[in-house]
Structure 1
Amino acid sequence: MEIHRTGRGPQPFRVHAGHCSDGQGKEITRDKARRLLTAGIEACPFCSPDTELRVDGTA
């Protein structure tokens, strides 16, 4: 999971698959990745964790 710093503290920004070379950030479980994706957090356009986890990304 990629995190961005904001005025309210660190916030999730983008979810990556574990094998993604662009995925710098905190490692999370598959369940947490599914929850973030269904809550509207962006999926990485390169590794497509939403496809791998079979999540359509709509809340």
Structure 2
Amino acid sequence: MKLILMFVLVAAMVVLFFSGFFVGMLKERYGKNLLILVPVCIALVMFNIIWALTELAKSARWQ
């Protein structure tokens, strides 16, 4: 179970990284635009998933 938890955590961090990269590309190409809100929302969701997974990992049930 711990291996699955670590895999999902790594996947969430990769998505978070590429979402930030996508925000940088959008800012460089188009300037400030409402399209930037899409990867920012994805990044917030993935950050919450990472936080929830780390809290789950503290539980004895996931050890």
- TM-score, length of structure 2 as denominator length: 0.27
Relative contact order, higher structure (CA 8 A, sep 6+): 2
Structure number with the higher strand fraction is 1
Q: Max radius of gyration: which structure?
A: 2
TM-score with structure 1 length normalisation? 0.28
